[in-house]
A = this chain, B = another copy of it.
Amino acid sequence: MIVVMKVGSSQSEIDGVINRIKELNLGIHLSQGEEHTIIGVLGQTFPELQDMLRLLPNVEDVIPIGKPYKLASKEFHPQNTIVTVKDVVIGGDEIVVMAGPCAVENEDQLLSTAREVQAAGANILRGGAFKPSTSPYSFRGLGLEGLKMLAKAREETGMPVITEVMTPGDVDVVASYADILQVGARNMQNFFLLDEVGKIKKPVMLKRGLSSTIQEWLLAAEYILSQGNEQLILCERGIRTFETATRNTMDISAIPIIKLQSHLPIIADPSHATGQWNLVSPVALASIAAGADGLMIEVHPDPNSALKDGAQSLTFDNFQHLMTSLKPIAQAIGRKLSSGGI
């Protein structure tokens, strides 16, 4: 951490900062610039220190040095994390595709979708049993019944399933049915939930919050990692900006940034990022070209009767087209699609 004193600070103000640092058993390194005196803090600092020092008289700024997360950083963990779910490997050479309906609506809808996406090459079945919903008057999911349908679809197809858990009290029950637990965008800073999914022995996929910086996202990942769960996957799903032509704005640069700063695998979700089915394929291809380890795609047998997010769901045909377009893109960057159902 570095303390920048205002121009014209007196010796006693500078000493005030130095003494405060020393009281906390930290060392200092003094540097006199043309205009500003700068005091480097030596030793193990902590997040609150920034505020503590900023308040001292004539301090202009206090600048933290280094990243505030360690377990999630590539610097301290150079080897890439690979998460294995049954025979699906996430974060390796192969591109993984998670597909399925936004919400589990009934057995037929789920099973028919599972079979179709598997046939088209998807590796993991997605489907929401507990659904976050902006309005209390919207469909909120089938809950436990939905979890059971997911388990049944897994039995019938052999595909691992991923589904969202929304509250700490549900972690155990969701973990008993699902192969991967998803923490949704609105819960990225639900810290008790992060603690709980950090304690289980199953993989977790952590979506980026709608207005979270990449640093906050990696700090949320740090919560899970610091509880001991290292089977962690990140998912970029768009951020909130002023643009209203799309539901969110896919932050495509977040993909290579995560690859540079972290060892965790990263999945892209073009369905939520765009909110519009005819933008899903181009943004999916772009995400793989940018280096994502996989995709999460919403597919529905009949999007215009979907109970949730129909506008962003692909039909079976459109999903198959996407998978066909995806193959040469994966090859172009030296990767391939995971074998899938064919």
- Which A positions have Cβ atoms within 8 angstroms of B? 2, 4, 6-7, 20, 29, 31-36, 38, 40, 42-44, 46-48, 50-56, 60-61, 63, 65-66, 68-69, 75-76, 132-140, 166-169, 186-187, 189-193, 210-211, 213-216, 219, 222-223, 226, 239-246, 249-257, 260, 273-274, 277-279, 282-283, 285-291, 303-311, 325, 328-329, 331-333
State which of B44, B289, B310 has its C-beta within 8 Å of the C-beta of A288. Answer: B289
Contact B242–A257 (Cβ < 8 Å) = no
Interchain residue pairs with CB less than 8 A apart (8): A29-B32, A51-B310, A61-B65, A213-B244, A253-B274, A253-B283, A282-B291, A328-B328
Contact A38–B51 (Cβ < 8 Å) = no
Query: Measured between C-beta atoms, what is the minimum distance from A28 to chain B in Å?
Result: 10
Decide yes or no: A47 and B138 within 8 Å by CB, A252-B252, A329-B289 being known contacts.
Answer: yes
This protein's copies in its complex: 4
Decide yes or no: A138 and B48 within 8 Å by CB, A282-B256, A290-B282 being known contacts.
Answer: yes
Residues of B contacting A189 in the complex (Cβ-Cβ under 8 angstroms): 132, 134, 186
CA distance A248 to B311 in the complex (A): 28
CA distance A232 to B257 in the complex (A): 33
Residues of B contacting A246 in the complex (Cβ-Cβ under 8 angstroms): 253, 257
Query: Measured between C-beta atoms, what is the minimum distance from A283 to chain B in Å?
Result: 6
CA distance A136 to B221 in the complex (A): 10
Contact A52–B304 (Cβ < 8 Å) = yes
CA distance A138 to B197 in the complex (A): 19
Contact B186–A211 (Cβ < 8 Å) = no
Contact B245–A242 (Cβ < 8 Å) = no
CA distance A71 to B58 in the complex (A): 20
Nearest opposing residue in chain B for A189, CB measure: B186
Residues of B contacting A249 in the complex (Cβ-Cβ under 8 angstroms): 239, 241, 249, 251, 253
State which of B4, B135, B308, B328 has its C-beta within 8 Å of the C-beta of A222. Answer: B135
CA distance A245 to B73 in the complex (A): 15
